[in-house]
Amino acid sequence: MRQRQNFVLPSITSTYAGEAAGKYIAAALLSAKTLDQEAVSIMPNVKYKSVVQKLDVSGIVHDASCDFTNSGSVALSERILEPKELQVNLELCKSEFVSSWEALQLGYSAFDEIPASFNDFLVSYVGGKVAEATETSIWQGNSATNGEFGGFQTIISASAAAGGAGDAIQSSASGSITSTNVIAKLEALETAIPNTVYGKEDLVIYVPTNVVKAYQQALGANYANGWNNQVTVGAKPLDYNGIPLMHCPGMTNSYMVAAQKSNLFFGTGLLSDYNEVRVLDMADLDGSQNYRIIMRYTAGTQTGINSDIAIHIPA
């Protein structure tokens, strides 16, 4: 019979600030699936704000001559990426987490990396929740909303609505996406992709979970014999006419964005002095069994050239 091992929980008051907090903040933010799969360009050391520059040249090749003749045009676009300051102030009762931590220490876990201390366990737990919030905010966040920063959907949708020469292009199709219309919606979005970026190596179509499900179902059941003669067996390739489909759970249902990875930017100050992770054991202060966890970090998004982006908006 396995004997129960007793763990002594010491009084923990740990503080990680500035660069020391970087590994905890990075683990929390980069666990968001969009960032974890490097679906966008990540700028990790934006302490306050950064200028995102995109260079576009045209008409630079001319007939040869003996003289130097300046030719062509150079367009330099600048956008400001200013990560928003965010924080987590959370109080947790240690008794609710002790049994889970003990189980990990005794080997009853499917995880490869087991937190060595109760402190690490709590920070990992909160970091997972931060990752979930970050993934959602990356796409549908609004900087005017408490606890959110501006997301790509918000930025690109506003640009498409403006309808200017330098703005994003809205697909001719709209409406919710289902297994019966997902192919037609993807075709319309593909048509809207500017010729200047079509065929680029880092061009992808970002899709939410419901579109991934619809596409899998369409390939499996809506075609004769199903994809590769496999109707319900095996995952179908997330690829549309050679363009990878990138699953981003933080996107709103039925949105789709076609863009280059190098044209979407996520910024944070991983090595900023502003970063802080703190765990406070309240037992010595008020006799309670509570832990307080404090996190401070920055995060934000920005696009490069909006006119190189196509978007499907449900309504």
Residue 47 lies in a domain: yes
pLDDT at res. 269:
87
Which residues does residue 42 pair with via DSSP β-bridges, in sequence order?
A: 266
Q: Please state at what angle helix 209-221 crosses helix 182-192, rounded to 10 degrees.
A: 120
Taking CA 312 as the corner, what is the angle to CA 309 and CA 315, rounded to the nearest 5 degrees?
135
Are β-strands 276-281 and 169-170 bridged in parallel, bridged antiparallel, or unpaired? unpaired
Q: Is residue 1 part of a domain?
A: no
Query: What burial letters (b/e) apply to 268-293, b meaning 16+ CB within 10 Å?
Result: bbbbbeebbbbbbbbeeeeeeebbeb
Query: What pTM, to 2 d.p., does this model score?
Result: 0.81
> What is d(CA 272, CA 80) in angstroms, rounded to the nearest whole number?
18
Q: How far apart are CA 182 and CA 203, in angstroms?
A: 19
What is the rounded distance in angstroms from the CA atom of residue 219 to the CA atom of residue 216? 5
Q: Look at residue 32 and tell me if it is in a domain.
A: yes
Using N-to-C axis directions, what is the helix angle for 118-140 and 22-29, rounded to 10°?
A: 50
The reply to whether 291 falls in a domain is yes
Is residue 116, in this structure, part of any structural domain at all?
yes
Count Cα atoms within 13 angstroms, Cβ side, for 93.
Answer: 3
Could you list the residue range(s) of the whole structural domain that residue 306 is in? 13-57+75-312
Q: How far apart are CA 312 and CA 157, in angstroms?
A: 9
In a domain, 7, yes or no: no
- 155 is a domain residue: yes
- Total number of domains in the chain: 1
Give me the tens of pLDDT residue by residue for the chain, a chain 315 residues long: 444 444 444 455 677 676 677 777 888 887 899 999 999 999 888 877 777 766 666 666 767 778 777 766 666 567 889 999 999 998 888 777 777 766 666 555 544 455 667 777 778 888 889 999 999 999 999 999 999 999 999 999 999 999 998 899 999 999 999 999 999 999 999 999 999 999 999 999 999 999 999 999 888 775 545 555 555 666 778 999 999 999 999 999 999 999 999 999 999 988 677 788 888 888 878 888 888 888 999 999 999 999 999 999 998
Asked if residue 120 belongs to a domain, the reply is yes
